[in-house]
Amino acid sequence: MSLYHLSRSSQPQPQSVDAWFTQLDEKITNDPDKLSVNDKCIAIDCEMVGVGYMGSESALARVSIVNYYGEKLFDKFVKPKRVIRDYRTQYSGITAKHLENG
């Protein structure tokens, strides 16, 4: 997994989510007053597929985390252990192909 940017600064960018959190921890420890709102903000979204009787129950199929700028921090497909009855593609964008290696 790789990280794209912590912020729009010119400092060297970390290469992983762990490095991103380490850099954020250093900012908090060294001078928490200089930590911008942008550094504190992330958004998490998930996509669900239908499992169970006629796909009426939901199961996690994708997790995405982005920073304040919409840059991807984490994006993984998750293959449910239960049989998928409805990929809900029109809403989730997920197809069977996406979950082959989930």
Quick one: which of 96, 80, 84, 97 has its CA closest to 56?
84
Strand-pairing partners, residue 60, are 48
| Top-confidence residue, 25 or 73 | 73
pLDDT for 26 equals: 77
pLDDT for 16 equals: 67
Contact predicate 81/43, CB 8 Å: no
Q: Which domains does the chain have, with CATH numbers?
A: 13-99 (3.30.420.10)
Q: Tens digits of per-residue pLDDT, 28-70?
A: 777 766 667 777 788 999 999 999 999 999 999 999 998 887 8
| Top-confidence residue, 43 or 7 | 43
Contact predicate 98/60, CB 8 Å: no
Contact predicate 46/15, CB 8 Å: no
